[in-house]
Amino acid sequence: MKRLFLSLTLLALAFAAFAQSQQQRLEENLYYLASDSLRGRLGGSDDARKAAELIVKQYEEMGIQPFYSSGYMQPFTNNLLGMGRTYNNIVAWIPGSDPALRDEYIIIGAHYDHLGVKNGKVYNGADDNASGTVSVIEIARQLSQHKDKLKRSVIFINFDGEELGLLGSNYMAERLAAEKRIKKVCLMMSVDMVGWYKQSGKLILQGSGTINKGDKLLKEAAELLGVKLKLKRYETSVFTATDTQGFAEKGVPTLAVTTGVKSPYHKPEDDPELIDYQGLSTVTDYLSRLTLQVSDDEMFRSSGRVAKKHQVNPKGFEMGIDLDLGSSWLHAPRGSAMDGRSRFAFDAGLTFQYNFNWFALRLDAMYGWSLAKYPHSSDFYNRSKLYYQEALTFPLWAVFQTKTKIGLIHADIGLYYSRLCKGGILHEHPSWGYVNRNQFGLNWALGVRLYGLDMSVFWRYQFNPIANSTATDVPNFRNYYAGLRLCWYFL
């Protein structure tokens, strides 16, 4: 009994000593990466290269080999930026020990670049993303001590150029696809801003829905280490992106790992003394254990689902929330002198779309109202009236769409039918004796879809007149409607 107690005590002391040394290494490396001497590690700069050299030195000391025979640093350029810079991704790996699973990969990535110097102020980027960079280094160190337990191979990638538009991660995703390896990546984790665990009170994992039984897997590893998790099944923000994007768009299960944006995000005050190093060590331990678990799990699988923002091709059936904002005006075919002037128009409702690759059919069901000013029949040069209507409108569209680098571009054309609920001259009692309650016409649109958000400009032209043959003082107007369409596809 005494021997068992002594063994457990020695094991606890050894673990504490390792944890203390890991925390010390995290702090030393982060202070260097986020020091003023590296001037904010702007992507493709000499300062970023100095940061890269530290990372390479760490891998060399651990005995972790470069993934490519040409070395750890994998240079690339980006012609779109036109800056003439060469960027450097750093790619190392630990081969899997199981011959049946060795050719399957887990990628653990973090970008090491930041914003550089602006207006004489150094943006050190301690949390963003020196924290993720040093965490990946320590994950590699921990896993290198358990090589025999890694059935799948683990690739460590430190990305350059993230702040300039996910340059490094997009380059690696394209390269692995060209090498026919992307389908062998069973999980990609982006470790980005993980230095404020205590202040945040949780570790946020976005993408559990891309993994089969992902919530259960991620919680099991957290419970063993007492890590507080906040799980999000998918990345949802259409305005932010991290290094998961290039991989997720190719169908790879992804996890965006972060403690949130409580730190001074993209500010000069993001300095190393603000980092929670004990929490950073805890996050590192969790990700190491999770990687071991995924590597050892022969049944680990993708769920087959990706976030809406990462869908490159629209799925077969889609449903969304539609909002149209624009202006409505009246046009009299008998002469421009009687034309009205535009006023505000608004529609809201649902959209239903069925895709056939480059062609789609879409039906909108909208409820809205519009105002339009038109000349008074007795004095159309000096006096005017306001025509108001509320209607249910059902546009039916033929959609022609194609993929581009900026999103899904589409051109739409079709017919619409409107059923008026209210209509007539504003501030006067509506008379259904002269208003056509059934209206129909032509609509067309041009738009782009980005991460599930569709933005279009559209036009609508009415075929039949607003007033029927019994009208007395209402001209033979048709209704024009033009505006901006915003649609969020949630299904």
Q: Which CATH number fits domain 317-489: 3.20.20.70, 3.40.50.10070, 2.40.160.20, 3.10.20.600?
A: 2.40.160.20
Residue 349 confidence (pLDDT): 96
Residue 308 confidence (pLDDT): 78
Residue 238: CB partners within 8 Å, gap ≥ 6? 309, 450, 451, 452, 453
Q: Rounded to whole angstroms, how far apart are CA atoms 222 and 170?
A: 30
The segments of the chain whose pLDDT lies below 70 read 1-20, 80-83, 333-342, 374-384, 405, 425-434, 469-475
Where are the domain boundaries for CATH 2.40.160.20 in the chain?
317-489
- The answer to whether residues 139 and 189 touch, using CB atoms and an 8 Å cutoff, is no
Residue 261 confidence (pLDDT): 92
AA letter at 106? I
Residue 377 confidence (pLDDT): 55
Residue 29 confidence (pLDDT): 97
Where are the domain boundaries for CATH 3.40.630.10 in the chain?
16-306
Token pair belonging to 224: 């063993």
| Secondary structure of residue 152 in the 3-state scheme | coil
- The answer to whether residues 222 and 216 touch, using CB atoms and an 8 Å cutoff, is no
Q: Rounded to whole angstroms, how far apart are CA atoms 397 and 486?
A: 15
Give the count of alpha carbons within 13 A of 86, CB side only.
7
Residue 202 confidence (pLDDT): 96
Q: State the CATH architecture for 16-306.
A: 3-Layer(aba) Sandwich (3.40)
Smallest Cα–Cα separation from 418: which of 399, 435, 401, 400?
435
pTM of structure: 0.75
